[in-house]
Amino acid sequence: MSRVLTVGAAQTGPIQLADTRADVVERLVALLRQGADAGCDLVVFPELALTTFFPRWWVDDRADFDHFFETEMPGPDTKPLFDEAARLGVGFHLGYAELTPDGHHYNTAILVERDGSPAGRYRKVHLPGHHEHEPWREFQHLERYYFEPGDGFSVFGAFGGIVGMAICNDRRWPETYRVLGLQGCEMALIGYNTPVHYPPDPSQDVLQGFHNGLVLQSGAYQNGMWVVGVAKAGEEEGCLLLGESSIVAPSGEVRARCTTDGDELVVAECDLDMCSNYKDTLFNFSYYRRPEAYGRITGQAGVEVPDNVTSALEGDDGTRDR
Ligand code: CDT
């Protein structure tokens, strides 16, 4: 049986504060229809695809921002997307802010099958930015204030393959892809909102596109999986977000990439069987990996320079020799 999936990376342009959910869902439905016309089995939307990237603002009372969160999925505003997807027979991946019935807030993505049935849900693990209001920044990045972290990376049997999800900052961490890869992941879906300006170190601004390609491509290659990275791009409320949504093959090669900062669909034929070219050879995990040498990966979070190294570098007075 063919395991070639036609996948659309459905980048969106900016979503402004004044845009309603209905406005946004209309744009997503238009992209979905383009995907259907292009023969897509699956259309991948960005992180927090229903609203502006609200963690760029501080509010004293977090509850004042609960209106950015979805309390049901689908809800009345998002049901047209689900209905159209089922009518067209196209599955989709969608990022949104989730508020659970018991009051928990997550940065979430869902996967929906071609018949409209739910295939999986993921809550973002790596929450970037800061907890407190930092007025020196041009804009805030308060994901650590508005969201709780999710508890892990799962894969799902969907679209005839093994599919995983991650969200934005997760894509910068090799552990994300490896934990998915260790579960046989053949395609990772990753939405993002990446400000081009990085206030703690502006020297990284010109490298944003390079770093995006670097992590998507290395994650794909080192784990023998397809990676679909999809941006919300363009200038959103004065903050420029990176585009360059890409579909990357298990070889690490880019098979499709957006060239605008607006709503744009790019499509690639993704042969899931190509994963075995890498998973069964150079990256045959069970044959080559040495988990006994990797204890630090799960045993510690921060850097711990071994004592013998510290003392070799320090003079008796505790200062460095050179
Ligand atoms: N949305 C998101 O995770 N963005 C981050 C910005 C990092 S700077 C605070 C990213 O890794 O692209």
Cα(193) to ligand 1 centroid in Å equals 7
Average pLDDT over residues 13-35: 98
Cα(168) to ligand 1 centroid in Å equals 6
Residue 213's H or E segment, with its range, is helix 208-223
Task: Give per-residue pLDDT as tens, 282-293.
Answer: 999 999 999 999
Question: What is the pLDDT at residue 162?
Answer: 98
Name the residue of 52, 56, 145, 193 to mutate for ligand 1: max ligand atoms within 8 A of Cβ. 193
Task: Give per-residue pLDDT as tens, 118-144.
Answer: 999 999 999 999 999 999 999 999 999
Average pLDDT over residues 98-116: 98
Mean residue pLDDT across the chain: 97
How many whole angstroms separate alpha carbon 213 and alpha carbon 266? 16
Question: What is the pLDDT at residue 316?
Answer: 54
Atom of ligand 1 nearest to the CA of 192: 1
Task: Give per-residue pLDDT as tens, 42-89.
Answer: 999 999 999 999 999 999 999 999 999 999 999 999 999 999 999 999
Question: What is the pLDDT at residue 320?
Answer: 52
Q: Is the pLDDT of residue 270 over 70?
A: yes
What proportion of the chain, given as a percentage, has pLDDT over 70? 98
pTM reported for the whole predicted model: 0.97
Residue list, ligand 1 pocket, CB within 6 Å: 47, 128-129, 141, 168-169, 172, 192-194, 198
Report which of 84, 92, 50 is spatially closest to residue 67, judged by C-alpha positions: 50
Report which of 93, 18, 6 is spatially closest to residue 49, judged by C-alpha positions: 93
Helix (H, G, I), strand (E, B) or coil at 237: coil
Residues marked active site are found at: 47, 124, 168
The answer to whether 96 touches 74, Cβ cutoff 8 Å, is no
What proportion of the chain, given as a percentage, has pLDDT over 90? 97
Question: What is the pLDDT at residue 322?
Answer: 44
Cα(143) to ligand 1 centroid in Å equals 9
Atom of ligand 1 nearest to the CA of 130: 9
Name the residue of 141, 170, 203, 240 to mutate for ligand 1: max ligand atoms within 8 A of Cβ. 141
How would DSSP label each residue in 64-108?
GGGGGSBSSSS-TTTHHHHHHHHHHT-EEEEEEEEE-TTS-EEEE
Of all protein residues, the one whose alpha carbon is nearest to atom 11 of ligand 1 is: 169
Q: Strands 226-231, 187-192: parallel, antiparallel or unpaired by DSSP?
A: parallel
